[in-house]
Amino acid sequence: MPAGPALEKLVRTWQAGLGRARGRAASLSLLAVVLCAAHVARVGTGPARAAAAASIAIVLGVLCVSWWRERRRFADTRRLLRTVLRRTDRDLCDRSLRAFNLVERTARDQTLGSSSLAQLHFERVLARAQPGLVAAAAARHARTWRRLALGFALCGLLAVAVGPRRLFEGLDVLVARRGVAPVPLRWLDHARISSQAPHYLRQGESALYQGFANQQPSGSVLSVRGMPRHAERQLVLSDGEREVPFVSDGAGGVVARWTLKDTARLRVAARFGDVLIPEPDTLQVSAALDRAPRIELEGAPRTLQLKDVERIELRFVARDDHGLSQVDLVLRSGNREERRVLAKLNDEGSVYRGGHALDVRDPFLRRVFLPVVVSIEARDNDAVDGPKWGKSATFSLMPPALGEPEATRYATLERALQAVLGLLSAQLGPLPEKDAKQRAAARKLVREQRARTLESVRTALSAGTGLPLPSGLRAFVAGQVRLLERPRPAVPAVRNTEEVLLAMDAALRGLAVRDARSVAKRLAEVADEAADGAKQARETERQEAGVQRLDAAVLALGASAAQLLQLGALGHDLGNVARADLGRVKRARERGDLLHAELAARHMAERLRRPNPSFGARGTSHAGGVEAGAGGGSAPSDEASQADQRFNQLASELEELASEHAGGVGQVEKALEEAERAADLAGLRDEAKERADAIRRAANGLPQLGAEPGSAQGSAALGREHAASMAQGLEQLDLAAAVERGRDSLAALNAAESAGASAMDWVDRDAVRAAKGVLQEQLAWAERQLNAARQSAAARARDTLNQASGQEQELARRAGNLAGRGEGEAALPEEALRNLEHAERSMQEAARELQSGNGERGLELQREAQRLLEEASSGRTDRDEQEPSGEQQRGQRDVGGDLGRDGDVPDKANSEDAEAFRRRVLEGLAKGKDGRLSPAIKRYAEGLLR
């Protein structure tokens, strides 16, 4: 129903009196709630932010509802009348409501009366309202809203007074998304960013700048320093995933240190609970990772056949972007791996050039049957992520089949045996009795065949035929060569050749038996490798690797079994056994039946570990009659030749003789030492000390060490050193050492005096002569005292020396007997015979010296005889040299690889090295003398100095 003029006037009067007080109160209430909610939201936790947002939402909702209700109130006449008139005139308000009801009824029902009259009546009733009273009521209502607005304004002012920036921070936190506020703020003044590379890189500190691309080594520590703009803010350095708090730097500022692991975008931020407010600037830093070393191996990759090379030269260059700490030689074969340190570096060099020679007789290479992969690996000095290894390209070494060296050696010896057989055939040929030219041609043919035979046998003795002969067998064959070269006068040439042929045949068959057993046992290891590969492929997830192991081992088994077949009768037997079992393994492998392939390989390994003939008695084999039991491969007693057995018996007796003689030498040494210790030299102590002081005073005028060895100054300095050693020996009453050093000192001073003087090599000859005079006097005294002490010691040990003389004479007789037997069928090599004869003479002379009481001379001759006996002893034919054990192999290596065996005495031209070498030798000689070989070692070392 349209409002009349009186109602509109009434509304205008009310609104004019109320004014804007209600709207201001609503606005101020919303502002106050927002400001207070900002303080709550600044806490940053989820509940705080939720409470702040909820409070703002509630107030805003209340205001919206109030606005909606107010609009409905002014749209509804009854509510409007109650709101405006009830506050001024309640009776007029009731009459107005009744008049308005009448207007509504007449509008709905015309029978109740005229709607125009009803509307006119309603207007007249409203016209009675007094505008002044309405305006006064509206003013009173406006004052209430103004008071509320003032209260809200005071609350807002209080929130602002607490901290204007806190309000902005709180609002920023309130509208944050995913833990990051949308509006960045500045938190640090005078920010400085620096980077310190890891310590192992040995780099200084560098500055970084925001807004630019920065690159630093991985592991660098980034330091962000600055002055905080606002106190009590929890500042952090963050990349969005992890953060580092700022701490006080002790100078009023703050600092945060960030360890760079990967490329990062860093921002300074303030943390408010779960929310970060970052700074607008970003620091972009990319991490330069420490790469693994790179190794260039000259000639790699390459594949070599071990049988075609003697040494593998490995030359390499290792490079790293920062520093190297270690370089290793790595040998891999199947599942076996061995690492050898070639160089330990100081982490400073980034390039290392080196080389290494790998000998084919290396213990690792001698025991492999699968291809060997050789590589050079280098480790860097990365202390951040841990050291990394770099690997070079590889050399692939293809080893010969197991038994191939033995088969080659056997074939070479067999050819030598055939050559001896050819010589015998030539000797057995008929000689024409009447035609002198034909007789001469026949003899020439025999001589030529003998020369070819000797050449063939010597080739078999050389080490270049695949595998060197054991020392005992080498000596035996060398003895047979001696018989071929110089037959025994009492034995016909044909018979001599027959005996040599039979002796070498017996030795060859014994060697074949031992080699067949050795190869069979090593072949058992290959069968175990095949079985392990089948088991790995069957039971583990590494099926492909297991099948590769199986196939590689099967290939090695086939090649090795073919070589085993060539090693005589026993080798032929065991080779056929291996080939039969290998066929079972292959058939199971082709069917994919890995279980039965493993079982067949296990059966082969167990059979080859018992390398006995398949048929016949345990003691002999059906093929060749060689012994197959545990005896070691000697021919049985019914062999056509017993030469090897006689040789072995002779070798055993020679070893026993050397052992007994060594015991006799030890008894004489002990007797003389005890007699010398029993001598009372205490009375000479004071006089010896005075003479030692005299020697030192005389030697003070001689030059110090440092001149070139061999020069006048160098010889004089050496004489001074020996003189000091002599003085020390006198003080300790070690007369033997004092005499020895005194003689050395005089020899050095004589050399200095006769070397001649030049402008560049000058020596004080008067000082040398004075020192020589003192040394000669003191040396003569020391020799007299030493001779007296030795005569006294010999007298005390006379009974023991007499007994030792008899024993030495008996041993000399046995040595002569062995030498005589060594010229017969059990022939010894020429050198061994010569050593035995010299040893016999030295022993006889030592016996005479011991009998006469000259213990020192007799002991010296005994030692010489012992050396000759040991050189004459070469071992038995049925005994092979054993490879060094693992402990011995490790003992032969130092930290840099294999221990060098080719050291040389420094040349005189290299004065520094020669001087250092001489010092080391002198220091070693100055140490106490212990052990049977100590005098010989000292003499050898002194010989190096001359």
**67-81 confidence digits (pLDDT tens):** 777 666 666 677 667
Q: What is the mean pLDDT of residues 909-924?
A: 55
**Predicted local distance difference test score (pLDDT) of residue 676:** 64
Cα 770 from Cα 165, distance rounded (Å): 101
pLDDT of 603 above 90: yes
Cα 822 from Cα 834, distance rounded (Å): 11
CB atoms within 10 A of CB 158: 12
Q: What angle in degrees, to the nearest 10, is found between the helix axes of 643-678 and 798-821?
A: 160
Torsion of CA 494, 495, 500, 506, to 10 degrees: 130
Q: Where are the alpha helices (H) located in 896-933, listed in sequence order? A: 911-925
**Predicted local distance difference test score (pLDDT) of residue 825:** 64
Cα 575 from Cα 591, distance rounded (Å): 24
Could you tell me the pLDDT band of residue 902, with boundaries at 50, 70 and 90?
very low
Nearest to 742, CA basis, from 762, 763, 727, 758: 727
CB atoms within 10 A of CB 477: 26
Q: Mean pLDDT lowest for which of 224-233, 239-248, 917-926? A: 917-926
- The structure tokens listed for 586 are 């292959």
Torsion of CA 288, 293, 299, 303, to 10 degrees: -110
H/E stretch holding 898 reads strand 897-898
Whether the Cβ atoms of residue 429 and residue 506 lie closer than 8 Å to each other:
no
Cα 234 from Cα 452, distance rounded (Å): 100
- The conformation of residue 307, written as its DSSP 8-state character, comes to G
pLDDT of 649 above 90: no
The single residue listed with the structure tokens 């940053």 is 44
**Which of the two residues, 497 and 102, has the higher pLDDT score?**
497
Burial (Cβ within 10 Å: 0-12, 13-18, ≥19) of residue 229: middle
Could you tell me the pLDDT band of residue 547, with boundaries at 50, 70 and 90?
confident
Percent of the chain whose pLDDT exceeds 70: 80
Whether the Cβ atoms of residue 528 and residue 601 lie closer than 8 Å to each other:
yes
**Which of the two residues, 760 and 251, has the higher pLDDT score?**
251
Positive or negative: CA dihedral 874, 875, 880, 886: negative
**Predicted local distance difference test score (pLDDT) of residue 95:** 72
- The conformation of residue 703, written as its DSSP 8-state character, comes to P
What 3-state DSSP class applies to 616?
A: coil
Torsions phi, psi of 705, nearest 5? -65, 150
pLDDT of 622 above 50: no
Torsions phi, psi of 893, nearest 5? -115, 145
The angle at the Cα of 630, spanning 624 to 635, to the nearest 5 degrees, equals 35
Distances (CA, A) of 286 to 175, 205, 218, 323, 383: 32, 17, 9, 21, 19
What 3-state DSSP class applies to 264?
A: strand
**Predicted local distance difference test score (pLDDT) of residue 889:** 40
Beta-bridged to residue 265, according to DSSP, are: 284
Question: Residue 422 carries which side chain, given as an amino acid letter?
Answer: G
Q: What is the mean pLDDT of residues 851-856?
A: 80
Averaged pLDDT of the chain: 78
The contacts of residue 158 (CB under 8 Å, 6+ apart) are none
pLDDT of 133 above 80: no
What 3-state DSSP class applies to 113?
A: coil
Backbone region of residue 399 per phi and psi (left: phi > 0; alpha: psi in -120 to 50; beta: other values):
beta
CB atoms within 10 A of CB 612: 16
**Predicted local distance difference test score (pLDDT) of residue 115:** 72
**Predicted local distance difference test score (pLDDT) of residue 631:** 38
Distances (CA, A) of 90 to 80, 94, 178, 599, 912: 13, 6, 59, 118, 131
Distances (CA, A) of 67 to 61, 73, 291, 716, 802: 10, 10, 71, 122, 141
H/E stretch holding 327 reads strand 324-333
CB atoms within 10 A of CB 567: 28
**Predicted local distance difference test score (pLDDT) of residue 669:** 82
Could you tell me the pLDDT band of residue 585, with boundaries at 50, 70 and 90?
very high
- The structure tokens listed for 273 are 């609970």
pLDDT of 834 above 80: yes
Whether the Cβ atoms of residue 43 and residue 164 lie closer than 8 Å to each other:
no
The contacts of residue 515 (CB under 8 Å, 6+ apart) are 403, 406, 409, 410, 567, 571
CB atoms within 10 A of CB 892: 12
The single residue listed with the structure tokens 């509208």 is 175
- The conformation of residue 675, written as its DSSP 8-state character, comes to H
Could you tell me the pLDDT band of residue 328, with boundaries at 50, 70 and 90?
very high
Q: What is the mean pLDDT of residues 836-862?
A: 86
**How are beta strands 372-380 and 324-333 bridged, if at all?**
antiparallel
Q: What angle in degrees, to the nearest 10, is found between the helix axes of 543-564 and 404-428?
A: 10
Beta-bridged to residue 542, according to DSSP, are: none
Torsion of CA 114, 117, 118, 124, to 10 degrees: 180
Cα 929 from Cα 360, distance rounded (Å): 39
Cα 104 from Cα 823, distance rounded (Å): 161
- The conformation of residue 732, written as its DSSP 8-state character, comes to T
Cα 11 from Cα 20, distance rounded (Å): 15
CB atoms within 10 A of CB 622: 13
Distances (CA, A) of 840 to 250, 634, 648, 654, 875: 92, 30, 21, 12, 19
**Predicted local distance difference test score (pLDDT) of residue 683:** 65
- The conformation of residue 227, written as its DSSP 8-state character, comes to E
**Predicted local distance difference test score (pLDDT) of residue 605:** 92
Q: How many residues does the chain have?
A: 946
Beta-bridged to residue 353, according to DSSP, are: 317
Nearest to 283, CA basis, from 304, 260, 299, 302: 260
Whether the Cβ atoms of residue 306 and residue 368 lie closer than 8 Å to each other:
no
Q: Mean pLDDT lowest for which of 193-197, 541-545, 711-715, 915-919? A: 915-919
Q: Is the pTM of this model over 0.75?
A: no
Burial (Cβ within 10 Å: 0-12, 13-18, ≥19) of residue 504: buried
Could you tell me the pLDDT band of residue 616, with boundaries at 50, 70 and 90?
low
Nearest to 390, CA basis, from 380, 400, 381, 402: 380
H/E stretch holding 865 reads helix 855-872
Q: What is the mean pLDDT of residues 163-184?
A: 83
**17-62 confidence digits (pLDDT tens):** 666 777 777 787 878 788 787 778 778 888 888 888 888 888 888 8
**How are beta strands 302-305 and 395-398 bridged, if at all?**
parallel
Could you tell me the pLDDT band of residue 897, with boundaries at 50, 70 and 90?
very low
Highest mean pLDDT: which range of 279-293, 319-333, 712-726, 753-767: 319-333
- The conformation of residue 252, written as its DSSP 8-state character, comes to S
Burial (Cβ within 10 Å: 0-12, 13-18, ≥19) of residue 875: buried
Beta-bridged to residue 319, according to DSSP, are: 294, 351
**Predicted local distance difference test score (pLDDT) of residue 588:** 92
